[in-house]
Amino acid sequence: EAQVTQNPRYLITVTGKKLTVTCSQNMNHEYMSWYRQDPGLGLRQIYYSMNVEVTDKGDVPEGYKVSRKEKRNFPLILESPSPNQTSLYFCASSSGDRRNSPLHFGNGTRLTVT
Amino acid sequence: GNSVTQMEGPVTLSEEAFLTINCTYTATGYPSLFWYVQYPGEGLQLLLKATKADDKGSNKGFEATYRKETTSFHLEKGSVQVSDSAVYFCALSDGGANSKLTFGKGITLSVRP
């Protein structure tokens, strides 16, 4: 089954404790992206990757890192989480041009930073 | 920059009622327009799309027409069901280097039996 898999689904952590949210897709998609969803703000892009070893900032990259060493994986790293990073995070992937190819989303990771 | 504006929510309807969710956009060039739906506890999934002016996207009884003159992409359904209860997002992609999706804030639809 074609899917984007994120782990974990739920994560509670404390300020400053490094964490990684994993994302893997099995559709051989070149493009992958991370979004955060906050009430009243919709989804905002954090980082994206056009292909292996190619990553770039989205609209809200501060406090986050990513890497793309393999085509299928695109982990999101919070080196020193802060409470304002409490949010619902989504990983997504697509092939080709986003004008025509839909984004496939994972089921989300709900992060709480205390 | 690009932006998407959705009507304020939430929206509560009775089963079989008519649904309209308004969406307007601001973009350079000729973007593609999308509606995504998010069911409880799940990620977003594409509901329908339109890639050029006057195109009508349709799926699962939902429809939306790309209106360039009014920069709108309103979502409609003639008869909603309880199973349509979800959050609906309007989005656009302008085909730039990132070709990222720009999302509206989303609107929660609740359909009661």
pLDDT for residue B96 = 64
Q: Is there a contact between B49 and A102 if contact means CB atoms under 8 Å apart?
A: yes
pLDDT for residue B1 = 82
A70-107 pLDDT tens trace? 999 999 999 999 999 999 999 999 987 666 778 899 99
Q: Tokens standing for A46?
A: 């954090």
Q: What is the arithmetic mean of pLDDT over B43-47?
A: 93
Instruction: Work out whether strand B86-93 and strand B101-103 pair parallel, antiparallel, or are unpaired.
Output: antiparallel
Please report, for residues A34, A72, A81, B83, B112, the alpha-carbon distance to residue A114 in angstroms, rounded to integers and kept in the order given: 22, 31, 9, 35, 36
The answer to whether B91 and B102 are in contact (CB under 8 A) is yes
Q: Is A41 on the interface with B (CB under 8 A)?
A: yes
The shortest CB-CB distance from A98 to any of B4, B36, B99 is to B99
- DSSP string covering B14-82: ETT--EEE-EEEE-SS--EEEEEEE-TTS-EEEEEEE-STT-EEEETTEEEE-BTTTTB--EEESS--G
Q: Tokens standing for B57?
A: 């996207």
pLDDT for residue A40 = 84
**Residue of B32, B36, B90, B100 to mutate for A, most A C-beta atoms under 10 A:** B100
pLDDT bin (cut points 50, 70, 90) of residue B28 is confident
pLDDT bin (cut points 50, 70, 90) of residue B63 is very high
**Interface size, chain A vs chain B, as Cβ–Cβ contacts under 8 Å:** 65
Q: Is there a contact between A40 and B105 if contact means CB atoms under 8 Å apart?
A: yes
Using CA coordinates, name the residue in chain A closest to B92: A99
Using CA coordinates, name the residue in chain A closest to B52: A99
Chain B closest CA to A43's CA: distance in Å?
Answer: 6
B68-93 pLDDT tens trace? 999 999 999 999 999 999 999 999 98
Using CA coordinates, name the residue in chain B closest to A30: B98
